[in-house]
Amino acid sequence: MWKSKEIYYISDSTGILITNLGESLLCQFPAINFHEEKFPYVKTLKDARQTLKYILDQSRGRRPIIFSSIMDTEVRDVFRSPEVEFFDAFDFFLEPLETCLEAKALRVPGFSRRDDDVKRAKRVDAIHYCLDHDDGTKENEFDQADVILLGVSRAGKTPVSVYLATQLGLKAANFPLTVEYLSKLQMPGSVVRNIKRAVALTTTPEMLQRIREKRYPNSTYAKITTCIDELQQAEQIYRRHHVPMISSAGKSIEEIATQVSQEIGLAKKPGSVS
């Protein structure tokens, strides 16, 4: 078994697709250390040859792995070298799909990322809304939100809100349940009024304590007893108002955001019927 391996992601567009695919596969091999580099916008034969030369110089005969999403056949074939392990996304998926659908694919680099003006404007609007409504700001405008994330301090509300806005184009507001609300087991009227769009993020006391301790070491705020009390009080509030709860412990931002979108009905849940 290899102890380490060089990985190269090659694309004629941004490289986001092939990088995500490659990383999803490589994470299944935790015992191996991977050294990864990305080469987006490899569009010409000259680009391809220069890139391959760099890869071979770096790898020194260790047969590096190349993940490719290059559309142009000539450019792609430059990387079909006996000195590398070559994995091409379109060899595996696009050609069989053409056969299955009995149709020819466009084969246009980065086509899925060419949003029309309406989609782009919606995403920009969502990003502005997210930034303007972080951490309970402008709660009088929560009526405009697609989703309102609730949680105690440091439960992960802000990064998930940003992901929902930038990647899914959703107007995401978030509201922190501070001691003021926790002690009374209440939520503000701006949230109660929009409760059907509210989703709560929770976590484990241990995880919350670790995050808080990094920011405010040796504080009452970061004590495990404080974390336990706040999470329990928050969950009482969520149950009282029938707010769905999602644990952020041990999950990526992408996973949490997907679950949030499911809870507010923007993604189909397993077993749902259209």
pTM: 0.64
What is the rounded distance in angstroms from the CA atom of residue 209 to the CA atom of residue 217? Answer: 10
The CATH 3.40.50 domain(s) of the chain lie at: 4-112, 117-263
Q: What tokens were used for 83?
A: 């000195």
> Who's near 111: CB < 8 A, 6+ residues apart?
none
Q: What tokens were used for 268?
A: 């189909």
Please tell me what DSSP assigns to residue 30: T
What is the rounded distance in angstroms from the CA atom of residue 231 to the CA atom of residue 206? Answer: 11
CA 163: distance to chain centroid? 6
What is the rounded distance in angstroms from the CA atom of residue 139 to the CA atom of residue 173? Answer: 8
Asked if 115 and 123 count as a contact pair (C-beta separation under 8 A), the reply is yes
Q: Which of 71-80, 103-112, 186-195, 212-221 has the lowest mean pLDDT?
A: 103-112
Nearest to 199 by CA among 254, 258, 140, 154: 258
Q: What tokens were used for 73?
A: 């056949």
pLDDT at 271: 41
Pairing of strands 198-202, 147-151: parallel
Q: What angle is formed at CA 267 by the lines to CA 99 and CA 116, rounded to 5 degrees?
A: 70
Terminal-to-terminal C-alpha distance of the chain? 46
Q: In this model, does residue 196 exceed pLDDT 80?
A: yes
Q: What angle is formed at CA 83 by the lines to CA 79 and CA 84, rounded to 5 degrees?
A: 55
What top-level class would CATH report for the domain 4-112? Answer: alpha beta
pLDDT at 266: 66
CB-based burial label for 111 (10 Å; 0-12, 13-18, 19+)? exposed
Q: In this model, does residue 155 exceed pLDDT 60?
A: yes
What is the rounded distance in angstroms from the CA atom of residue 156 to the CA atom of residue 174? Answer: 10
At the topology level, CATH places domain 117-263 in: Rossmann fold (3.40.50)
Q: In the chain, what percentage of residues exceed pLDDT 70? A: 93
